[in-house]
Structure 1
Amino acid sequence: MSPGHGAAPPGHGAAPPGPVRTVVVELLSPVAAPVGRIVAVRERVEASLPFRWDLATPDQLGSMLAGTAEPNLWFVDDLVECAGRTLARSGNGDLLFVGRSLDSMFDLLSGALAGVSTEQRLARLPFSFARRPIEAGGQRWRLPALTAGQRAAARRVLTELGVTPQALARRNRPVVFVDVVWEGSTFTELFNLLDEWVIEAREPWDVVRRKLRFVGVTRRLKTSPKTWRWQQHAGWARRLPARAVVNVSLDRTVWSYLGDHQTKLTRSFRPDRWHLPDDGPNREDETRQALAEAVALVGYGRSPLGRRGLAKAIAGEPALAEPWLRSLARQLNGPA
């Protein structure tokens, strides 16, 4: 890591986390003092990240894969193409996979980039912003704002990943948030969370904005001048540089499988669960089979076939003219 880069998200080169990661945050909350004044006290808030196995060292899985069927990676060709294009459109940034929908892309790339000389790092940001709507009057509903405790917990998780206003302002390369996108609501919530934090920290927005990128994985549709594009309806996207918000399309069946139907290895990390203790791994048969699929994806990413597939997807991208991407493609095309 070069000086001034800031803390990079932990990725394929980082030490595996422990089985349960609990982070403690402190937030200021007003209380009434005995003399009637309002004072600030520090309130401790814990945030336990959902457990997920370290798939880079599958020997640590013990007997979890015993008795599981051979995974059917019917979607892998489409996933490889999408992953390669995501890398190419990342601007040589560190990739943070938001939520759980693209865990399979994270697993595939974790295998493919293992042992590859690159500045890029991968990490998971397991946030879900789903919460129960509240009545807003006139038979209208809206999502409630995040509480102070939830915002503090979110900031602590981001801090663990090296994503703070101070670190962003001092990075040499961008942080790239990657997620499946329908209308972009998750990206909107995440941007607003960061925007509020940057304002409070008084870091220069004109510097920070150049360190943020968003890659939305969308359902592949027939394109036309009338095609609805989510980022054109997200006002915050216009506050970022051109090409900081981009899309990569994915076959609609695979998109639906990853986003709606695939069994995940972790529980959903909604705001109402950000303060709950982690309940450890799920050992049911369905989860064990999903674990076998995830391990197989890591292995496919490490294979010459998987790496060459990524290089082929990268080859069609304009960013191949940039040295960092040419170097990455050359290594992926080389011997495993």
Structure 2
Amino acid sequence: MTIRPFRWDLVRPDQVGTLLDRTPPPRLWFLPDLTVCAAKVLARCGDGELHFVGRSLDSMHDLLGGALERTSWHDRLHRLPLSLKPREAFGRRETRLLREHLAEGGITPHSLARGTRSTVFVDLVFEGDTFTELYYQLRQWIDDEREAWQVIRRKLRFLGVTLRQPTRPGAWRWQEDVAWTRELPASAVRNVSLARDVWYYFADDQPKVTPSFPRQRWTDETVTVPGHGKPVRRALAEAFALVDAGRSAAVRDRLVRTISGEPAIAGPWLRALVTELR
């Protein structure tokens, strides 16, 4: 069995007890920007299964967990709590552990080749290092298992949440500087921009519920023990508040309005989701 960092069940919070009794309510100052960004992630995921890589977008995972709780999409949100930085060569042991973690999340060459939905990786992206490492590790595993790459390449998607930049012709995009993106269909690599202050908050400043999980800790059983320190309590309070916000009519309405303005709304799968969110 693979080791994963402990994280409370935010939808059914029985485990928390009195842990948050003295923690002040969080101020979700970033909620409007996060809601719009989350809506665009849904609209651009191609009706796929969403796998949030690392911890950076835990807040989006939690918000959507609340919003989609009573929809047919309630089981399409997955966390892949691995840190693949820095980009260094993987040894045999690390490769085996990574594959075990991916398999634990339902991602194997066999499942990718035979699944009916796309597998969509979502993460904050600056230069794309995490996506690059993940892609090459997956590609090597697929080759090792001799699964049908021409089938799988049509089912892989990478959705980057990027720093919002001024809109101008010829603006730089991270995927232009990495060769592997050209091995996939053009629609397989998409971006959604996020306001700079929110992006940097999630990337650098936000307290997290779980510890970082780089490869050096993939066999460290201490990560399975829940934290109780002040930063963890602050993070947990924020996470619960985001789940509750996602359940609210105001957030669901904002999701619907934003999704309805996306080109993908022409697809029956997205119109059906909008109907469920209303």
| TM-score, normalised relative to structure 1 | 0.80
Aligned 1:292-311 pairs, distance under 5 A? 292-311=237-256
Partner amino acid, structure 2, of 1:278? T
Q: Is the 8 A contact 2:65 2:74 kept in 1?
A: no
* Contact 1:92 1:120 (C-alpha < 8 Å) held by counterparts: no
- Letter of the structure 1 residue corresponding to residue 5 of structure 2: P
Task: Please state if 1:185 is matched with 2:126.
Answer: no
Task: Say yes or no: does 1:100 pair with 2:52.
Answer: no
Kindly state the Cα deviation for residue 119 of structure 1 after the two structures are TM-superposed: 7.9
Of residues 218, 223, 227, the one that matches 2:162 is 218
Greater Cα shift, 274-283 or 314-323? 274-283
> Are 1:319 and 2:274 counterparts?
no
- Could you tell me how far 1:117 is from its partner in structure 2? 2.3
From 228, 233, 240, give the equivalent of 1:288: 233
> Equivalent residue for 1:35?
none
Partner of 2:192: 248
Aligned match for 1:273, one of 217, 225, 249: 217
Residue 161 of structure 1: how far off its partner (Å): 1.3
Q: Read off the aligned partner of 2:168 and give its amino acid letter.
A: S
Report the alpha carbon displacement of residue 312 of structure 1 after superposing the two structures with TM.
1.2
Deviation track 1:179-214 (CA, whole Å, cap 9, x = no partner) reads 000000000000001000000000010001111000
Q: Which has the higher Rg, Structure 1 or Structure 2?
A: 1
TM-fit CA distance, 1:223:
2.0
In structure 2, the residue matched to 1:207 is 151
Q: Is the 8 A contact 1:146 1:271 kept in 2?
A: no
- Number of paired residues? 277
Structure having greater relative contact order (Cα 8 Å, sep ≥ 6): 2
**8 Å contact kept, 1:216–1:247:** yes
For 1:125 and 1:238, the matched residues in 2 are separated by 24
1:115 aligns with 2:70: yes
Determine which of 13, 26, 32 is the counterpart of 1:77: 32
Stretches of structure 2 that go unaligned for 5 or more consecutive residues are: none
Counterpart residue identity of residue 150, structure 2: D
Measured after TM superposition, the shift of residue 286 of structure 1 is 1.8
The Cα of 1:278 is off from its aligned counterpart by 3.0
- Runs (4+) off by over 6 Å: none
Letter of the 1:269 partner, please give it: F
Instruction: Give the counterpart letter for 1:61 in structure 2.
Output: V
User: Which amino acid is the alignment partner of residue 305 of structure 1?
Assistant: A
C-alpha separation in 1, matches of 2:110 and 2:174: 29
Asked whether the 8 Å contact 1:181–1:218 carries over to 2, the reply is: yes
Is this contact kept in 1: 2:68–2:74, CA < 8 A?
Answer: no
Paired amino acid for 2:174: W
The structure richer in strand per residue is 1
TM-score (norm 2): 0.97
Give the number of the structure whose residues are more often helix, by fraction: 2
Deviates more, 1:210-219 or 1:110-119: 110-119
SS in 1 for 2:51: strand
RMSD of equivalent CA atoms: 1.2
Q: 1:68 aligns with which of 20, 23, 31?
A: 23
